[in-house]
Copies of this chain bind each other. A is one copy, B any other.
Amino acid sequence: MAVPELAPLKESKVDVVIVGAGPAGYMAALWFARMGIKAKFIDKRSTKIFTGQADGLQPRVLEVFETFGFVDRAIKEVAVGYEACFYEPDDEGKIRLVDKQPEGVPGISRFNGSVIHQGRIETWISDAIEEFSKGELQVERPLLPEAMEVDTSVGDSTTEYPVKMVLKKLPDNDAGPDQFGHKVENGLYRQFDGDQKYEVPKEGEDLEVVHAKYVLGCDGAHSWVRKQLGIEHKGETTDFVWGVLDIVPITDFPNIRKRCSIHSKNDGSIMVIPRENGLVRLYIQLREVDHEGDKLSEVTGKKRVDRSKLTAEQILATAQKIFYPFSLEVAETHWFTAYQIGQRVATDFQKDNRVFIAGDACHTHSPKAGQGMNVSMMDTFNLAWKIGYVVKGLADPSILHTYELERHAVADDLIAYDLQLSRLFSSKPGEISTEEFRSVIEKGGAFTTGCTVNYDASVLIDKPADRPRTEPYYSALASNLAIGMRLPDTRIVMQSDGRPWWFNQRLPSTGEFRLLVFIGDYINNPSLKKQMADIGEFLARPESNVAQLRRDAVLQPMLVHASPQAEVTWDDFPAVFRPRDERGVMDYWSVLADTPTLHEKTGDAYEKYGISREVGAAIVLRPDGYVAKVAEPTLEGIEDIWRFLGGFLTAVKATT
User: Which B-chain residue is minimally distant from A496 (CB atoms)?
Assistant: B257
Q: Does A4 contact B (CB under 8 A)?
A: no
Q: Does A248 contact B (CB under 8 A)?
A: yes
Question: Which A residues from 280 to 335 make CB contacts under 8 A with B?
Answer: 329, 331
Q: Does A199 contact B (CB under 8 A)?
A: no
Partner of A585, one of B278, B498, B599: B278
- Encoded as 1 (CB less than 8 Å from any B CB) or 0, chain A from 254 to 266 comes to 1111100000000
Bound Cα distance from A254 to B578, whole angstroms: 11
Known: A76-B72, A79-B497, A569-B254. Contact between A112 and B599, CB under 8 A? yes
Partner of A499, one of B80, B329, B597, B598: B80
Number of this chain's copies in the assembly equals: 2
Q: Is the CB of B331 within 8 A of A254?
A: no
What are 17 A-B contacts defined by CB distance under 8 Å? Answer: A79-B497, A80-B499, A82-B498, A82-B598, A107-B599, A112-B599, A248-B585, A250-B580, A250-B583, A250-B585, A254-B570, A255-B570, A257-B588, A258-B497, A258-B498, A274-B497, A331-B583
Q: Which of A106, A251, A256, A498 has the most CB of B within 10 A?
A: A498
Partner of A82, one of B106, B255, B569, B597: B597
Q: Does A431 contact B (CB under 8 A)?
A: no
Which B residues touch A101, using CB under 8 A?
A: 598
Question: Which A residues from 203 to 258 make CB contacts under 8 A with B?
Answer: 248-251, 254-258
Which B residues touch A496, using CB under 8 A?
A: 256-258
Chain A residue total in the interface (Cβ 8 A): 46
Q: Does A102 contact B (CB under 8 A)?
A: yes
Q: Does A92 contact B (CB under 8 A)?
A: no
Q: A72-B75, A83-B498 are in contact. List 6 more A-B contacts (CB 8 A).
A: A106-B598, A248-B585, A250-B585, A250-B586, A258-B496, A331-B585
Which B residues touch A274, using CB under 8 A?
A: 497
Q: Is the CB of B598 within 8 A of A83?
A: yes
Q: Does A600 contact B (CB under 8 A)?
A: yes
Which B residues touch A257, using CB under 8 A?
A: 494, 496-497, 588
Q: Does A195 contact B (CB under 8 A)?
A: no
Which B residues touch A329, using CB under 8 A?
A: 584
User: Which B-chain residue is minimally distant from A583 (CB atoms)?
Assistant: B331
Which B residues touch A76, using CB under 8 A?
A: 69, 72
Known: A584-B331, A585-B248. Contact between A82 and B599, CB under 8 A? yes
Which B residues touch A623, using CB under 8 A?
A: none
Q: Does A500 contact B (CB under 8 A)?
A: yes
Q: Does A571 contact B (CB under 8 A)?
A: yes
Question: Which A residues from 465 to 504 make CB contacts under 8 A with B?
Answer: 494, 496-500
Bound Cα distance from A72 to B329, whole angstroms: 37
Bound Cα distance from A497 to B600, whole angstroms: 29
Q: Is the CB of A249 within 8 A of B497?
A: no
How far does the Cβ of A73 sit from chain B's closest Cβ, in whole Å?
Answer: 8
Q: Is the CB of B102 within 8 A of A585?
A: no
Known: A76-B69, A102-B599, A331-B583. Contact between A497 and B570, CB under 8 A? no
User: Which B-chain residue is minimally distant from A505 (CB atoms)?
Assistant: B76
How far does the Cβ of A55 sit from chain B's closest Cβ, in whole Å?
Answer: 15
- Encoded as 1 (CB less than 8 Å from any B CB) or 0, chain A from 565 to 609 comes to 000011100000000100111101000000001111000000000
Q: Is the CB of B249 within 8 A of A585?
A: yes
How far does the Cβ of A117 sit from chain B's closest Cβ, in whole Å?
Answer: 18
Bound Cα distance from A475 to B274, whole angstroms: 39
Q: Is the CB of A106 within 8 A of B599?
A: yes
User: Which B-chain residue is minimally distant from A72 (CB atoms)?
Assistant: B72
Closest 3 CB pairs of A and B: A102-B598, A254-B570, A257-B496
How far does the Cβ of A68 sit from chain B's closest Cβ, in whole Å?
Answer: 12
User: Which B-chain residue is minimally distant from A599 (CB atoms)?
Assistant: B106
How far does the Cβ of A79 sit from chain B's closest Cβ, in whole Å?
Answer: 7
User: Which B-chain residue is minimally distant from A73 (CB atoms)?
Assistant: B72
Bound Cα distance from A256 to B586, whole angstroms: 10
Question: Which A residues from 65 to 106 make CB contacts under 8 A with B?
Answer: 69, 72, 75-76, 79-80, 82-83, 101-102, 104, 106
Which B residues touch A254, using CB under 8 A?
A: 569-571
How far does the Cβ of A223 sit from chain B's closest Cβ, in whole Å?
Answer: 37
User: Which B-chain residue is minimally distant from A251 (CB atoms)?
Assistant: B586
Bound Cα distance from A258 to B580, whole angstroms: 18
How far does the Cβ of A369 sit from chain B's closest Cβ, in whole Å?
Answer: 20
Bound Cα distance from A599 to B109, whole angstroms: 11
Which B residues touch A571, using CB under 8 A?
A: 254
Q: Is the CB of B585 within 8 A of A82?
A: no
Bound Cα distance from A570 to B331, whole angstroms: 21
Known: A331-B583, A331-B584. Contact between A497 and B278, CB under 8 A? no
Which B residues touch A569, using CB under 8 A?
A: 254
Which B residues touch A494, using CB under 8 A?
A: 257
How far does the Cβ of A331 sit from chain B's closest Cβ, in whole Å?
Answer: 4
Bound Cα distance from A586 to B597, whole angstroms: 45
Q: Is the CB of B570 within 8 A of A499?
A: no
Which B residues touch A584, using CB under 8 A?
A: 250, 329, 331
Bound Cα distance from A82 to B83, whole angstroms: 36
Q: Is the CB of A500 within 8 A of B82?
A: yes
How far does the Cβ of A383 sit from chain B's closest Cβ, in whole Å?
Answer: 28
Which B residues touch A585, using CB under 8 A?
A: 248-250, 278, 331
Which B residues touch A583, using CB under 8 A?
A: 250, 331
